[in-house]
Every structure is written in structure tokens, then in C-alpha cells.
Amino acid sequence: MTADMVTANTIANNARASQESIELLAGHFTPLTKEQLSLRNSVLFEYLLNRNNISGLLGRGITAKIRLLKKNSTLRFYRNVCDIGINSLEDIDDFNDVRFRVWPSIYPDMEPVSFQARRPLPLLYIFYNPVGSCILRIRSFHYESLLKRKTTVKIQGDLLRIVLNKRLGKDVSLKACASSDKYIIDVENRKIFSPGPDGKADTSDDIMLRINPEVLGWRN
């Protein structure tokens, strides 16, 4: 999707591109909906795939290790991890981050166990479910990278619509979609950009599109 946006932006900044071409692009690159940006199905697919892989371990003759793998606990834990990822990616603030209990009912007073990508699992849980703990650490992926990708697509879509509207002679707003800040037009360096999560311009997390100020009328 970002490659298509970059291509459309190149056309919009080309002085030889016709008005009809720009109008077609503007009609195609409409604001992305919440459903289009949603990554829920991707996370659920990952969960179902890994659930089948974990269940498949029971049928491959590794009975010597089966007591070290608590299947139900592993699957419940992994579902909690996926739910946390979905809630983070979908901007859901009011949620319980431990939906399913990972301890057996014979341990009624055990504290809930949550997953933190950059920290080890609690030692007590590793002792209880050593193989499952290894699987969880291997299978679980960092949702920060998905969230960053989603934000990039959203912001580049915003920047592209600004460029297209400017080329069509329409009024444009530089208000950022993902924050209360404004996008920045850097005429000298020929780019329109968002400073990114760190809020600082000209750093590695900037999200930008190249512009031709003369064609877009930003030299005036």
C-alpha cells in the first residue's frame, strides 16, 4: 500500500500529469477507514496457526516431553497475548489484559500472569510450564512493529491527500491525523512530513513524502 502511495505522489508532483489523472488518483486514494487499517484478522490468523502447531506437538511422538508442556495453559496464555495485541492495534483502552486463567483450578490463589515482550516470563510459570514458556517466547511477536507500520500507512495516506488536494487547487489542512500536531512542509528539502513518535524533525522515525514545491505552488 505504501508503494502505491509513493507512486501516486510521484505522479501528483509531475508537472506533466494531467488534471484528469490527478482527479482519478484523488478519487482512488480516499481516507482509509478503520476497517481497512485493522490488523485484527492478521493477529487472529497468527493465533489459529500457532494454536494448530502447538496442538500438533501432541501427535508427533514426543510423549517424554508432554508433562513439560501444559497445552491448555500455553494456549490460554497465547490467546491473552493476542488479545493484548489486538486491543493495542485497535486503540482499545478499556480492556482486561488477562482474560484467560493460565493456572489450573487446583491453584486458586495464584496471581495472573501477563506477557511483556521485553521481559522474561515469571520464573514460577517457567517452572510450571517450561516447554510452553519457550513456545510463547518464540511464537509471540512484537506488536510495536505492526503498530508502527499501521501508523506509517495512516500518516502517508494523509500526506498524499494533502499533496493531491494542493495539486487540484483545493484548500488543505496540515493537522495531523495521529496527534494534535501539524504536518510540516519543508520547501528547501522538498518534503512534507510528520516528525514521528519522538516529535523531532529530521530524525530516523520521520514519515514523509517527497514534493515538488514549484508544481504544488508552495514556493509562492
User: What is the rounded average pLDDT of the residues 158-164?
Assistant: 94
What is the tally of structural domains in the chain? 2
Do 123 and 101 lie in a common domain? yes
Do 56 and 126 lie in a common domain? yes
Tell me which residue range forms the domain holding 78. 37-141
Q: Is the pLDDT of residue 16 over 90?
A: yes
Furthest-apart CA atoms within the chain: distance in Å? 76
All residues at 6 or more sequence positions from 78 whose CB lies less than 8 Å from its CB, including other chains: 47, 50, 51, 54, 135, 136, 139, 140
What pLDDT, on the 0 to 100 scale, is given for residue 163?
Answer: 95
Q: How many helices (H) and strands (E) does the chain have?
A: 9, 3
Do 16 and 73 lie in a common domain? no
> What is the C-alpha radius of gyration for the chain, rounded to an integer number of angstroms?
24
Do 96 and 71 lie in a common domain? yes
Do 55 and 132 lie in a common domain? yes
User: What is the rounded average pLDDT of the residues 204-208?
Assistant: 88
Encode 48-70: b = buried (16+ Cβ within 10 Å), e = exposed.
eebbeebeebeeeeeeeeeeebb
Task: Please identify, among 141, 157, 187, the residue that sits at the C-terminal boundary of a domain.
Answer: 141
What 180-185 contacts at long range (C-beta under 8 Å, 24+ apart), as own/partner pairs, is: 183/158, 183/159, 185/211, 185/218
Do 67 and 134 lie in a common domain? yes
Task: Please identify, among 141, 173, 197, the residue that sits at the C-terminal boundary of a domain.
Answer: 141
Do 60 and 95 lie in a common domain? yes
Do 99 and 195 lie in a common domain? no
Q: What is the pTM of this model?
A: 0.73
Do 112 and 49 lie in a common domain? yes
What grid cell was written down for 159?
500526506
